[in-house]
Amino acid sequence: MGKLGISIYPERSTFEKDKAYLDLAHKYGFKRVFTSLLQINDDQEKVLADFTEVVTYANSLDMEVMVDINPSLFEQLGISYDDLSFFHKMGAYGVRLDVGFTGAEEARMTRNPYGIKIEINMSSGTNYVDNIMSYSPNTDNLLGSHNFYPHRYSGLSYEHFVYCSEKFRKYNLNTMAFVNSHAATFGPWPTQDGLCSLEDHRELEIATQVKHLVLTGLIDDILVGNAYASEAELKAMNEAFFAPYPTIKVDVYEDITENERICLFDNLHSYRGDRSAYILRSTMTRVYYKDKDFPAHNTRDMEKGDVLIDNVGYGQYKGETQIALKAMKNDGRVNVVGRIAEDELFLLDFLKPWSNFKMIENQK
SS3 22: helix
Residue 318, pLDDT score: 98
Closest CA to 173 of 114, 106, 238, 224: 106
Residue 84, pLDDT score: 93
Cα–Cα distance for residue pair 337/253, rounded to 1 Å: 6
Q: Tell me the percentage of the chain whose pLDDT exceeds 90.
A: 87
Q: Which helix (H) or strand (E) holds 281?
A: strand 279-282
Cα–Cα distance for residue pair 174/185, rounded to 1 Å: 29
**pLDDT at residue 81 is higher than 90:** no
Cα–Cα distance for residue pair 127/219, rounded to 1 Å: 19
Residue 192, pLDDT score: 85
* pLDDT per position as a tens digit, 145-156: 999 999 999 999
* pLDDT per position as a tens digit, 88-140: 999 999 999 988 888 999 999 999 999 999 999 999 999 999 999 999 999 99
Cα–Cα distance for residue pair 214/277, rounded to 1 Å: 24
| Average pLDDT for the chain | 95
Closest CA to 236 of 250, 247, 226: 247
Cβ 6 vs Cβ 24: under 8 Å: no
- Residue 24: partners with Cβ closer than 8 Å, 6 or more residues away: 231, 234
SS3 13: coil
pTM summary value? 0.96
Find the distance separating the first CA and the last CA of the chain, reported in whole Å.
Answer: 31
**pLDDT at residue 38 is higher than 80:** no
Alpha-carbon Rg for the chain, nearest whole angstrom, is 24
Cα–Cα distance for residue pair 364/362, rounded to 1 Å: 6
Quick count: other Cβ atoms within 10 Å of Cβ 332?
Answer: 11
69-74 mean pLDDT:
83
**pLDDT at residue 43 is higher than 80:** no
Residue 151, pLDDT score: 95
Mapping DSSP onto H, E and C, the string for 127-149 reads CHHHHHHCCCCCHHHEEEECCCE
* pLDDT per position as a tens digit, 284-299: 999 999 999 999 999 9
Cα–Cα distance for residue pair 298/281, rounded to 1 Å: 19
